[in-house]
Structure 1
Amino acid sequence: ADSQYALAQDTSTVFVSPGYVGCPAIPSVGDSLYTLLPNVRRIESHTAMNYTNGLTVTVNGDFNIANESDSISLRVNYDVRKLYGNNSISEMSTDSKFLMRFAWTKKNDQDTFAIQIDIASKPVPASTTRKMETTTSVSMDRLSLINIFVMPLLMLL
């Protein structure tokens, strides 16, 4: 069964719907920046990765999809989600294997989203040295103390 999993490499994938702006419309620009995007009607992506030291998958994005029937289907291992409504997602999972699926079919021209999925091999835990407390002492002779405290007072007089 593990033959379906590819050896993991750090990767990022961004899924964006046509017309997604990501911020309030700028009156002078509007959607003109997005006129060169192809008219994407369907996105379907499958990814299967494994790494013995572990993987971290991070999903971030926002979406504005009116109806549940038009939702994005996002699968991370056995967790299947329907993303719809005017909302955002920011989640992280760790495991040694990940089976992922992203699917969306455009049904409403008003639905927009941008979802970024990052897959990274878990870093090897850093080792730190133990903290060692030290004390430094300085000895001063009596003449030095007089110079520090008395001499400035004499200058004021």
Structure 2
Amino acid sequence: MSDKSPFAPQGTPDQVEEGRVFAPKFDSNGLIGCIVTDAWTAEVLMFAHMNPEALAKTITTGEAWYFSRSRGRLWKKGEISGHGQRVVEMRVDCDQDALMLRVEQAGAGACHTGRESCFYRSVPLYEPPGRTTTLNFVGEKKFDPAKVYGDPESGETDE
């Protein structure tokens, strides 16, 4: 974490867990994980990372901003697709190293594959895991990603 961070440094475990000071704990790469759920259905839409700048922009604007590890840059959800996210509530976990956003999702879905949720496959349980484990699809495509994002080879998506 840089000294330029707008956030308080982590204090003692008691201060972090029971205090009122927001002191997010970023990992060694300067990122914090963020679970995103639909504010009204509670469906888990996606998981993303935020750096201090994305977190500050999200808090300031009320719109979801993330940090793309693959592109190495900040991105606003919906900047390409139009499927933005208005933040209704932000929560932080007990040791302040994970965030949860409750959002109003604009458009047909949050996933760049054309689905409502990025969690559209289930892993079978009560079977030994292996190289032939078959995933079950539980989410249908809601939009055509090629029409929303254009050339899939460009790599420019809302992740």
Shorter chain as denominator, the TM-score bin is under 0.3
Normalization by structure 1: what TM-score? 0.21
More strand by share: 1
Select the structure with the greater relative contact order (CA < 8 A; seq sep ≥ 6): 1
Normalization by structure 2: what TM-score? 0.21
Q: Could you say which structure has the larger radius of gyration? A: 1
